[in-house]
């Protein structure tokens, strides 16, 4: 057990971040914006969830993606006791014998080795385990140094005592290295890597304003749009009022509340990318208005804000679907429950569009997105024509995935018997054709109403469901297919077909993510994966390089 004295740190993380608000709004790190590689890009991407096992190196302060606290004892990982937390989620006090544990950086792939610095305030006792080995010689109260070996999978942080009058709080786990002031996309393991570029900025000294790991920025910089649906934990959200939102002062951004809008905007500003926001389905008007005001104030003026009411409100697996159905039925919008659901989605979308237009104005700064089910062009007609909603909509969006049906229980026996060659033949001759048919049908609906067709999500959809997700042979086949160079060729044809069939912006799902039975969504499986070893990512980048935006 190591005793901690009162921290000498004078400013907490949130104060530093808020003081940098104008910096984030002005441009990366307060410097003139670097040359954009996404100015003519036709593609965007969805981001992975912020979790302790995220494969992306998201924040230089790894604690922001830490696992929620778990109550236990010295000998028990978890017990039944509740933890007393303050409003921000820090441990306010511990019961006798109680230990509060969390984990950071538990991803299956390697993250940087080296010395990590743990900064904190307050008095108490912290122990470390897993990949984090405490270095007593370099540590002092308020600042601990951990020698980290990524092969040991994850850093354990255990609070074994805390002073209720001055509790341990504002814990930050700073990754090693830094960036160069002249290029925020360049990772520098030490000052020599910034020679000729600009002054070295260590993560420890500038974590509050650097915020995002340069490796993440570099891998994202070619995308025109970043969709923050997963960062906002939009699906099944319980947020209603503005006070429910995630805040900069929260201990972590990996909870069900998600990542603050300020941080989303900060990433868009760093990248010079347009920002796509998906508002919680239960959010009231004040929430929508406050969110719009915040975006209008912080987002760089040359960037566009996309606004969408929730995510896939047509999709019955999400709570937003039943919410819309109940409200649409109660309002008597249609005798058909599904149509009432779509009409309510359309109605509420327009209400939010009006609120955002009132704050950001109409035109180039705002894109109002109405989404529909890709497999059902009728759904597009319903949401766009209800009370002339298309007149206040800037784009129709769908998710034209390919390969969806191959994970169904009905196809299980046939797919299980497939060779990899047979699977690719199926994707090319059947699955792509179905996707093109969907795209063309929605493009016609959009075109008839003077709207562009965009994709809020898209890409391959090789994932089992309805029990098929537990079929080991199919999972192995789908994993192989997503790593095979032929998947890159399928993506090339898919993207070319999207363009030829009337689509404009396509926002791929997903940027980084491991392959598992729940899906193989990541264009990259892990942060440091070489482009040549990632066929989907390579195909996306090649499409960007060959196809400047055609609309």
pLDDT (tens place) for every residue of the chain, 551 residues total:
333 333 333 333 344 444 333 334 434 344 445 567 899 999 999 999 999 999 999 999 999 999 999 999 999 999 999 999 999 999 999 999 999 999 999 998 889 999 999 999 999 999 999 999 999 999 999 999 999 999 888 999 999 999 999 999 999 999 999 999 989 999 999 999 999 999 999 999 999 999 999 999 999 999 999 999 999 999 999 999 999 999 999 999 999 999 999 999 999 999 999 999 999 999 999 999 999 999 999 999 999 999 999 999 999 999 999 999 999 999 999 999 999 999 999 999 999 999 999 999 998 999 999 999 999 999 999 999 999 999 999 999 999 999 999 999 999 999 999 999 999 999 999 999 999 999 999 999 999 999 999 999 999 999 999 999 999 999 999 999 999 999 999 999 999 999 999 999 999 999 999 999 999 999 999 999 999 999 999 999 999 999 999 99
Q: Which two tokens stand for residue 124?
A: 């108490």
pLDDT tens readout for residues 425-459: 999 999 999 999 999 999 999 999 999 999 999 99
What is the per-residue burial (b if ≥16 Cβ within 10 Å, else e) of 166-187? ebbbbbbbbbbbbbbbbbbbbb
- Report yes or no: 519 and 463 within 8 Å, Cβ to Cβ: yes
Biggest CA-to-CA distance, the chain? 72
Question: Which DSSP string do the residues of 431-478 spell out, in sequence order?
Answer: IHHHHHHHHHHHHHHHHHTT--EEESS-SB-----TTGGG-HHHHHHH
Q: Which two tokens stand for residue 52?
A: 């302790």
**Helices 377-385, 432-448: inter-axial angle, 10-degree rounding:** 20
Helix (H) and strand (E) counts in the chain: 15, 22
- Report yes or no: 331 and 387 within 8 Å, Cβ to Cβ: no
**How many residues are present in the chain?**
551
Q: Could you give the CA distance from residue 193 to residue 355 in angstroms, rounded to a whole number?
A: 47
CA dihedral 236, 244, 212, 145 (to 10 degrees): -110
Q: Contacts for 135-139 with beta carbons within 8 Å, 24 or more apart?
A: 136/2
Nearest residue to 522 via CA among 507, 532, 508, 533: 508
**Helices 285-298, 337-360: inter-axial angle, 10-degree rounding:** 40
Burial of 316 (0-12, 13-18, 19+ CB in 10 A): exposed
Q: Which two tokens stand for residue 308?
A: 């969408």
Q: How many of the other CB atoms lie within 10 Å of CB of 273?
A: 24
Q: If residue 103 lies in a helix (H) or strand (E), which one and from where to where?
A: strand 99-104
Q: Could you give the CA distance from residue 450 to residue 370 in angstroms, rounded to a whole number?
A: 13
The answer for 177, left when phi > 0, alpha when psi is -120 to 50, beta otherwise, is left
Q: Which two tokens stand for residue 82?
A: 């509740």
> 340 by DSSP, 3-state: which?
helix
pTM of the model: 0.94
Q: Could you give the CA distance from residue 152 to residue 132 in angstroms, rounded to a whole number?
A: 9
Q: How many of the other CB atoms lie within 10 Å of CB of 11?
A: 11
Given the structure tokens 């959010």, which residue do they identify?
283
Residue 34 is predicted with a pLDDT of: 55
Q: How many of the other CB atoms lie within 10 Å of CB of 417?
A: 10
Q: Could you give the CA distance from residue 200 to residue 174 in angstroms, rounded to a whole number?
A: 16
What is the per-residue burial (b if ≥16 Cβ within 10 Å, else e) of 526-547? bbebeeeebbbbbbbbebbeee
């Amino acid at each position: 057990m190591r005793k901690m004295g009162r921290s000498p740190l004078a400013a907490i993380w949130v104060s530093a971040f808020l003081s940098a608000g104008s910096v984030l709004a002005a441009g990366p790190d307060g410097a003139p914006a670097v040359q954009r590689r996404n100015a003519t890009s036709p593609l965007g991407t969805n981001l992975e969830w912020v979790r302790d096992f995220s494969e992306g190196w998201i924040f230089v302060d790894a604690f922001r993606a830490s696992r929620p606290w778990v109550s236990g004892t010295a000998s028990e990982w978890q017990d039944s006791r509740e933890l007393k937390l303050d409003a921000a989620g820090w441990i306010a006090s511990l019961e006798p014998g109680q230990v509060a544990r969390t984990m950071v950086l538990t991803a299956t792939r390697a993250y940087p080795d080296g010395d990590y610095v743990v900064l904190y305030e307050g008095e108490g006792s912290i122990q470390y385990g897993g990949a984090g080995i405490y270095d007593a010689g370099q540590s002092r109260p308020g600042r601990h140094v951990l020698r980290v070996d990524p092969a040991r999978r994850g850093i354990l942080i255990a609070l074994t005592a805390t002073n209720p009058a001055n509790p341990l709080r504002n814990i930050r786990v700073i990754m090693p290295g830094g960036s160069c002031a002249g290029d925020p996309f360049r990772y520098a393991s030490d000052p020599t890597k910034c020679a000729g570029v600009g002054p070295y900025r260590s993560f420890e000294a500038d974590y509050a304003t650097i915020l995002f790991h340069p490796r993440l920025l570099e891998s994202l910089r070619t995308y025109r749009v970043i969709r923050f649906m997963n960062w906002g934990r939009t699906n099944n959200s319980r947020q209603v009022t503005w006070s429910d939102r995630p805040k900069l002062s929260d201990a972590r951004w990996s909870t069900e509340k998600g990542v603050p809008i300020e941080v989303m905007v900060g990433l868009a500003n760093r990248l010079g990318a347009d920002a796509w926001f998906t508002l919680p389905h239960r959010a009231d008007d004040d929430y929508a208005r406050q969110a719009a005001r915040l975006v209008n104030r912080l987002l760089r003026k040359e960037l566009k804000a996309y606004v969408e009411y929730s995510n896939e409100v047509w999709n019955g697996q999400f709570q937003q679907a039943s919410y819309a159905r109940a409200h649409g039925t109660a309002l008597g919008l249609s005798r058909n429950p599904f149509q009432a659901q779509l009409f309510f989605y359309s109605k509420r979308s327009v209400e939010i569009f009006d609120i955002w237009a009132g704050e950001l104005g109409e035109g180039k700064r705002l894109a109002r997105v109405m989404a529909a089910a890709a497999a059902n062009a009728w759904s597009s007609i319903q949401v766009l024509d209800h009370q002339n909603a298309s007149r206040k909509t800037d784009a129709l969006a769908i998710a034209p995935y390919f390969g969806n049906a191959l994970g169904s229980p009905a196809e299980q026996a046939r797919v299980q018997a497939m060779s990899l060659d047979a699977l690719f033949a199926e994707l090319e001759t059947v699955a792509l054709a179905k996707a093109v048919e969907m795209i063309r049908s929605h493009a016609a609906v959009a075109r008839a109403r003077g709207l562009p067709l965009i994709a809020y999500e898209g890409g391959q959809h090789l994932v089992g469901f309805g029990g098929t997700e537990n079929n080991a042979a199919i999972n192995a086949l789908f994993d192989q297919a997503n790593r095979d160079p032929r998947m890159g060729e399928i993506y090339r044809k898919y993207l070319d077909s999207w363009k030829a069939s009337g689509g404009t912006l396509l926002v791929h799902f997903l940027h980084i993510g491991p392959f598992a039975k729940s899906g193989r969504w990541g264009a990259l499986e892990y942060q440091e994966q070489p482009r040549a070893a990632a066929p989907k990512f390579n195909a996306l980048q090649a499409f960007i390089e060959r196809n400047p935006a055609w609309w």
